[in-house]
Amino acid sequence: MNGGILYLKETVFKGTPLEHTVREMYLPILHADRAVAYSILTDALEQWKLREKKDSSDPRWDFYLIAEALGRERLNGSLIFIGIESEWYESLESVINDRPFVFTVDFENEKIVTLK
């Protein structure tokens, strides 16, 4: 695989704020051009900011759906832009060592962050 990774991190609460787990997802970007992937992700983030339902329980899923649709459209009917299943990696560092580019979304500050 010569594409990058979209790294998403989510905190899953189990009852109280003190009871939680952190889930990391390493979603494969199935396109090898870093600049194209970054452009699609930044445009998807702009659309994500404008969405009607801003009280979604999972903003990561909303972003994924927008980015995936926009990627397929921009890549002229490509079947998949971002894989839906997280790949297994031991750590974020191992992803950075393995892939040519890694992006994440800073939902709080509403920006795409380049990790590699």
75-88 pLDDT, tens per residue?
887 778 888 888 88
* Banded pLDDT at 37 (limits 50, 70, 90): very high
Distance CA 65, CA 98 (A): 25
**Percent of the chain residues past pLDDT 90, beyond the cut:** 47
Q: What is the DSSP letter of 86?
A: P
Q: What is the pLDDT of residue 55?
A: 65
Closest CA to 70 of 58, 56, 60, 81: 81
Q: What is the pLDDT of residue 51?
A: 78
Please name the helix (run of DSSP H) or strand (run of DSSP E) that holds residue 43, with its range, or none. Answer: helix 34-49
Cβ atoms 48, 66 nearer than 8 A = yes
Average pLDDT value over all residues in the chain? 87
Measure Cα distances from 32 to 15, 43, 81 in Å.
41, 18, 10
pLDDT average, residue stretch 100-110: 92
- To 10 degrees, what angle do helices 59-74 and 34-49 make? 130
The tokens for 6 are 């979209």
Distance CA 38, CA 18 (A): 35
* Banded pLDDT at 18 (limits 50, 70, 90): confident
Whole-model pTM: value is 0.84
Distance CA 28, CA 7 (A): 9
Which tops the pLDDT comparison, 84 or 12? 84
3-state class (DSSP) for residue 109: coil
* Banded pLDDT at 107 (limits 50, 70, 90): confident
